Structure 1
Amino acid sequence: MKENKNSFHAVDPDGDGYVTWNEYKVKFLASKGFDEIEIADKIKKNEELKLDEDTQEVLESLKDRWFQADNPPADQQLDEEEFLSFLHPEHSKGMLRYMVKEIVRDLDQDSDWKLTLSEFISLPVGTVENQQGQDIDDDWVKERKKEFEDVIDSNHDGIVTMNELEEYMDPMNEHNALNEAKQMIAVADENQNHRLELEEILRYSEYFTGSKLMDYARNVHEEF
């Protein structure tokens, strides 16, 4: 929580208790290597910012999320509570639904707002380390298939709905910790003794850092 408060104060230069989109945009672009003074001056003068395509796409996504976090009555600026919802949408029901919608929109190939197994294991190029320019690794596919069938698809009908995905991604869901523990043991328990040995934990340490879907969510919704 202290880190989040520091993040808020870092983008609230005048200390008025609110952060405007332009104030955040200046700090975000500065964190990406742009000259903060120059960017602030151009924004103040409404001059065009020369940004690369990737940075522009991230900014547009962040701006959408920004306005989602601006609780009614919308005033085009965020207070500290709204800013924390912007940074951590998974802890806000409204923002969590928005994040789930964004993920489904990116993965859903037939526009039915549901995910099949084939759609789920076909994350966009670049969202998995070293995936670009080569086929998805077989082990990665096996892990995602197991995650889809055993954890996210709660009624096991072969389809993941937005509600199922939201339940899976909700950190406040009381079943999540147990499901995650079961999943980790199922993947890493090589000797099938129903507990994890140190060697097994070390061998699967990369897997334990989080699911690839959650990694994708963090990539799509980049935090400052």
Structure 2
Amino acid sequence: MIRAVLICLVLGTVSCKPTDRKSRVHQEELLSQVQHNDDQNFEYDHEAFLGQDEAQTFDHLSPEESRRRLSIIVDKIDSNKDGFISEEELKLWIKNVQKRHIIENVEHQWNDFDLNRDGRISWEEYKNVTYGSLLDGPQDVTEYNYSHMMARDERRFKVADRDRDLIADKEEFTAFLHPEDHEHMKDVVVQETLEDIDKNGDGFIDIREYIGDMFTAEDGVEEPEWVAIERKQFSELRDRNKDGKMDKEETLDWILPSDYDHAVAEAKHLLFESDVNKDGKLTKMEILDKYDLFVGSQVTNYGEALLRHDEF
């Protein structure tokens, strides 16, 4: 588990689930690992609305139980208790789901690294747990250069460590694990991205490097359509000054876009799909009628273990 965490951190990502199409774009905490494609299923919406772990629980509930639990959730989302769910209330709910996942992730890892149980994690503790004996073996026979990875981790740890004592409290450790939501971490995220993609070391990302990070061409295999779209986006959107490459500022706008809020976009999407009378807000019945969009249900035989949540 620790090695998996290590690799995720060094690559500068929130998650290491493999995908055919690599993305460097950070979305604060990811709403979902899956592509948003409602033509096939609502999995993205389920994970964005419930959180990834809770979405898996709902997958095993009957439609009746899914609606019952969704009804309880709707009451929680309706913060002003007016009987309607607004776009703003949906957005705040989705953002809170994101934050809860981050908190749970940090808490899950905390005890692995806080070896002396003093409520803080030093760089030495993190280094010893994460790397341990990995540095003892020859570095040229492994897939990863652990010395290089440790140096990158140490640099990120120091940036997250606001008081520069090489000891992280919960807030600093959260910034280390999830840098995408912390202003003071943006420069190091950009630096890590450039180190990964800038193969010629000129401090920029050209079109060849940009595409090469997401797609590797194979002999006899036709280039996917999305690659052509990415080439066009690079020329028209990423490379704003039209010099044929992305500098640090353009790279920041790519991986940490400031003009797009995924929680807002998902709230608008859920509202559009469920607002039958188009009054700009949702009743509980409108949401329950579209329970498959919000929470879904894949099987009908669920067990007692899935009824463990006190709030339900």
Shorter-chain TM band:
0.5 to 0.7
**Cα separation, 2, equivalents of 1:28 and 1:135:** 41
> Which of 108, 117, 120 is the aligned partner of 1:15?
117
**Cα separation, 2, equivalents of 1:76 and 1:142:** 45
Report the TM-score when normalising by structure 1.
0.55
> Which of 223, 227, 235 is the aligned partner of 1:149?
235
SS at the partner of 1:17?
coil
**Cα separation, 2, equivalents of 1:59 and 1:136:** 37
**Cα separation, 2, equivalents of 1:61 and 1:136:** 35
Q: Is 2:187 the partner of 1:85?
A: no
1:20–1:90 Cα change, 3 Å: same
State how 1:1-224 maps to structure 2 within 5 Å: 1-29=103-131, 39=132, 49-50=136-137, 52=139, 53=142, 54=144, 56=146, 57-72=148-163, 74-109=164-199, 111-123=201-213, 131=216, 138-139=223-224, 141-154=227-240, 158-170=244-256, 173-175=258-260, 177=262
AA in 2 matched with 1:25: K
Task: Quote the residue 2:279 is aligned against.
Answer: none
SS at the partner of 1:13?
coil
AA in 2 matched with 1:59: M
Which sections of structure 1, spanning at least 5 residues, go unmatched?
Answer: 30-38, 43-47, 182-224
Report the TM-score when normalising by structure 2.
0.42
**Cα separation, 2, equivalents of 1:83 and 1:96:** 15
AA in 2 matched with 1:20: S
* Equivalent residues of 1:168, 1:176 under 8 A apart: no
**Cα separation, 2, equivalents of 1:88 and 1:135:** 39
1:151–1:9 Cα change, 3 Å: farther
CA deviations on 1:182-205 (whole Å, 9 max, x unpaired) are: xxxxxxxxxxxxxxxxxxxxxxxx
SS at the partner of 1:96?
helix
* Equivalent residues of 1:91, 1:170 under 8 A apart: no
AA in 2 matched with 1:138: E
* Equivalent residues of 2:120, 2:170 under 8 A apart: yes
Q: Which has the higher contact order (CA 8 A, sep 6+)?
A: 2
1:60–1:16 Cα change, 3 Å: same
**Cα separation, 2, equivalents of 1:135 and 1:92:** 44
The Cα of 1:151 is off from its aligned counterpart by: 4.0
**Cα separation, 2, equivalents of 1:135 and 1:76:** 51
Q: Larger Rg: 1 or 2?
A: 2
CA deviations on 1:136-158 (whole Å, 9 max, x unpaired) are: 96226424313423443345553
**Cα separation, 1, equivalents of 2:130 and 2:174:** 15
Q: Alignment length, in residue pairs?
A: 158
AA in 1 matched with 2:209: E
